[in-house]
Structure 1
Amino acid sequence: MGRAPLFLAREGYRRRRLADMARFLPVLGAALFLVPALDARDGLSAAMLIYLFGAWGGLILASGLLARRLCRSAGTGQAAEAREEGP
């Protein structure tokens, strides 16, 4: 009876972890946007607005970097699969 190897391929593992990070990003964004609500006694101050726009910009930057790395890893994964199949 053959057993599957105990380790995972490095590229596939990294690609799945990147996809997990991309799925977690909206949860992180919701948490970041709710932080000012904890201290909103007197309404939104200038510091809170700066924080919100900074968090928004950070989320845009993080999603762009994740998308770029996911596209790059998907491209290398497809090239590796093509090499394995052979002519």
Structure 2
Amino acid sequence: MPLFVERQTYRRRRLVDAARALPVLGLMLWWVPLLWSLPEEPMPASTALIYIFLVWAGLVAAAGLLIYALQAKRNRGPEDAP
């Protein structure tokens, strides 16, 4: 068994790992507004809702980019390899 895997296989595995970690990152980012209520003067609800919407939009964009990258790696044949 070879010690190292080929570059395309390694990159594809890292993309799959990133896709698996994305929900965990999203959950941690969604918990941030809970920390905003700790100071003496809490943040307005509108600020928290805007933050949550922006996190959601960022997660959608990141998932789209990961899907695009995974599809590009899958569609790439051995004749396209450098």
Q: TM-score, normalised by structure 2?
A: 0.82
In structure 1, runs of 5+ residues without a counterpart are: none
Q: Which amino acid aligns with 1:71?
A: Q
Is the radius of gyration larger for structure 1 or structure 2? Answer: 1
For residues 45-69 of structure 1, the C-alpha deviation after alignment (integer angstroms, 9 at most, x for no partner) is 2221111111010000000000000
Tell me how large the CA RMSD over aligned residues is. 1.8
Distance in 2, Cα, partners of 1:18 & 1:59: 15
* CA deviation profile, 1:10-53 (whole Å, cap 9, x unmatched): 00000000000000000001001111112236575222111111
Unaligned stretches of 5+ residues in structure 2: none
- Residue equivalent to 1:72: 72
| Count of aligned residue pairs for this structure pair | 76
Match of 1:48 in 2: 48
2:10 matches 1:13: yes
Identity %: 45
Q: TM-score scaled by structure 1?
A: 0.77
